[in-house]
Amino acid sequence: MEPLVGCITVGKMCAAPFEDETREYYRARVDNIIRTQLPHTKQFRESLEVFFVDYGNTAVVAREDVRELPDSVSTVPFQAVECFLSGIRPSVIKCPDGRWTEQAHNTFISMVMNKDLFGKIYSVVRGVLRLELIEVLRNGRQICFNHELIALEFADTAEESFLSKQNHEQRAMEESTGQLGQTGQQRKNISQQTSWLNLSLKPSMTFREDRRGGKMNLRGPHNPYEMSFISMTNVGSCRCAKIEPGSINCVSIDDEPHDPHSRLMIAAFVGLNPGGSTMLARDTTVMPLIPGLPTLISLLFAPIAEFRTDPELTSLTGAICGLGPAQNMEYSCFPDHDLEVIFDTKIDMEDIYKINGVRMAINLAVGSQEKVMGWGPDAVYKIQDSARTKLMEYVLSRPQVWSTYSL
């Protein structure tokens, strides 16, 4: 094979060496170009980070070691397939930024390296497989690494996207009918479903002469993944909520639109426009997607919470959080400022007891200044640590607590 000459760009196909027991060349794609300055000189040495398209691993090789890819193998389809573990996502506790941590990555590698594994395919979307990775032991017992990551608290259970669910249902239907692919009728149905994408002006939609030169208000374009926010208070729910222009959160993208749980944004300052119809939030923070977090925050800091149940009085479905009723009266002190919280996760009496334990620890920690000064710094620290510990214990127990509740 001839040495690779000329300008090398990211994405270029080549033949790169990989050394195991012997040094062999394999098909690879250039993913990155690394330039390293040689010591005591002004010269640079180029190295290439390559992805082996038939095996799925990466390596850094010297530029002079790569070779031109022969035409006879350049058109052969890649043998490596991109895969994702289905039904899970990085834990919001151990991976708060939504990415797998180095510890999670190393743990996963140690569990699967140099093993014969099986993949139970859930769906195939745009050539990417979503699957359960399974090891079958000699005694016949199966280990699903998707579940193992959840058990180790590196991952949370997550719903699949709409396209993934759609493909899974289609695959299940074909498997039940013994069909390996789509029939002509199925292709026709899909064509009918997507025909709405082909829009055209009909003769009846032509513009009249008398409408020329007029003005029309255009709106959009809008991103379907853009999140919209509403105030949690009763009076705020009747107003339009906007984020301060120029804020990093003025356009917030939902990276998991298939997740049915509510998401919380907090603001340091909230103002109204002159007409009082729009709320403007400043210094905002989008909280991580922890199922039930809006409920937890509301119940922790509300002076009084009045719970709602289902008609059978078997489950808690929501709560009104606020200052409670006025003295000697049956109605709320400030009903406009009460929070109507709908539980999108299962909350039972055991959860209420735990939340009350955290509330008590917080009340002690933020007691009157005179009492706190009399306790001394060690006592205050112990109380604060107790509140923090109780809260973390409650959040970390969410695999059992935060199960989805269907109204």
**What angle is formed at CA 294 by the lines to CA 290 and CA 300, rounded to 5 degrees?**
110
Domain ranges of the chain: 13-74, 83-166, 225-289, 291-407
Decide: 132 and 122 in contact? Cβ < 8 Å: yes
Query: Distance of CA 337 to CAs 305, 318, 322, 334, 357, Å?
Result: 13, 17, 7, 6, 26
What pLDDT score does 210 carry?
52
Which pair of structure tokens corresponds to residue 97?
A: 């930024």
H helix or E strand, kind and range, residue 385: helix 377-396
- Contact between 269 and 283 (Cβ < 8 Å): yes
Residue with tokens 């490596």, as numbered in its chain: 80
Distances in whole angstroms, Cα of residue 133 to Cα of each of 108, 143, 150, 262: 11, 8, 13, 30
pTM higher than 0.75: no
User: Directed axis angle between helix 377-396 and helix 349-365, to 10°?
Assistant: 160
Q: What is the pLDDT of residue 405?
A: 39
Per-residue pLDDT of the chain (407 residues; tens, 9 = 90+): 788 888 888 888 999 999 877 889 999 999 998 888 777 777 778 889 999 999 888 899 988 889 998 888 888 888 888 889 999 988 877 877 778 889 999 999 999 988 889 899 999 988 889 999 999 988 889 999 999 999 998 988 888 888 889 899 988 888 887 665 555 555 455 444 444 344 344 444 444 455 555 676 776 667 777 888 888 888 887 888 888 888 888 888 887 777 788 888 888 888 888 877 888 888 888 888 888 888 888 898 888 888 999 888 888 999 989 888 877 777 778 888 888 888 888 888 888 888 888 888 777 766 666 666 666 677 777 777 877 777 777 776 654 444 443 33
pLDDT of residue 181: 54
- b/e map 221-259, b = 16+ CB within 10 Å: eeeeeebebebbbbebeebebebeeeeebeebebeeeeb
Query: SS3 for 286?
Result: strand
Per CATH, is 83-166 categorized as 3.40.640.10?
Answer: no
Give the pLDDT of residue 148: 92
Say which CATH topology domain 13-74 has.
Answer: SH3 type barrels. (2.30.30)
